[in-house]
Amino acid sequence: MPDFERIPHDDAGRRAWVRELLGSATLAEHPLRAAFEFLAEEYLAQEARLDRMMRIADGYSNLSHTQSLGAVEKYERTLRRLEKLARISDRYQKIVMELNESLKRAALEDDLTGLPNRRMLLEALRRETQRTQREGQPFSLIMLDVDHFKRINDRYGHDVGDQVLCEVAHTLQESLRDYDLCARWGVRNS
């Protein structure tokens, strides 16, 4: 005999209770039996439909959550790769710039004394000659030779000779004005 008074609290309990009432002999002759049966079946079908809808909705929500996690992860990985690419590329570029700088120095400087070399001097002479022609203002050129330099090499060796050359270059460089140019013309004649 079903308990007609006490309605269960949980969904499954309620459904079992309704099904029990439907099968109960006590209700068989009740005037509202047909109406109850109709409503009860409606209720059970709706409950089943709601369950299914919730399961599907949860499924979609899980899927989109997983997808968005995947997208975030992919984005972060791409970002890391890009940063690494830029870092490595920048370093290569820096190496090339430094190489350029040292090539430029090698092309225009005397490697022993660090003075401008003959190439740079010729370039300056060409520029100054053109300026003289343009403006009619002369320029001065001083050629300097270290006399008896061979004696230093012979007596103290080439290393000391090199040091002397550097000192001479340094001394000349020190006494220049900003716009003067002191260059090394000759190769070592020892």
Partner 1 sequence: MNAIRIAGSQSTPEIHCNPESGTVLLQGDSYPENSYELYQPVIEWIETWLDRHQHLHLELRLVYMNTSSVKAMMDIFDILEAAHQKGQHVSVDWFYDRRNERVAEMADEFREDCTFTFQIIPDA
Q: Which residues bind partner 1 (CB under 8 A)?
A: 81, 84-85, 87-89, 91-92, 95-96
Closest distance to partner 1 from the beta carbon of 91 (Å)? 6
Closest distance to partner 1 from the beta carbon of 88 (Å)? 5
In degrees and rounded to multiples of 5, residue 80 shows phi and psi of: -60, -45
Nearer to partner 1, 80 or 131 (CB): 80
Nearer to partner 1, 54 or 88 (CB): 88
What's the CA gap between 190 and 128, in Å, rounded?
Answer: 32
Closest distance to partner 1 from the beta carbon of 49 (Å)? 46
What's the CA gap between 186 and 128, in Å, rounded?
Answer: 21
Nearer to partner 1, 72 or 85 (CB): 85
What's the CA gap between 128 and 165, in Å, rounded?
Answer: 27
Nearer to partner 1, 88 or 103 (CB): 88
What's the CA gap between 62 and 129, in Å, rounded?
Answer: 82
Burial class (CB in 10 A: 0-12, 13-18, 19+), 161: buried
What's the CA gap between 84 and 72, in Å, rounded?
Answer: 18
Nearer to partner 1, 45 or 82 (CB): 82
Closest distance to partner 1 from the beta carbon of 96 (Å)? 7
Closest distance to partner 1 from the beta carbon of 92 (Å)? 6
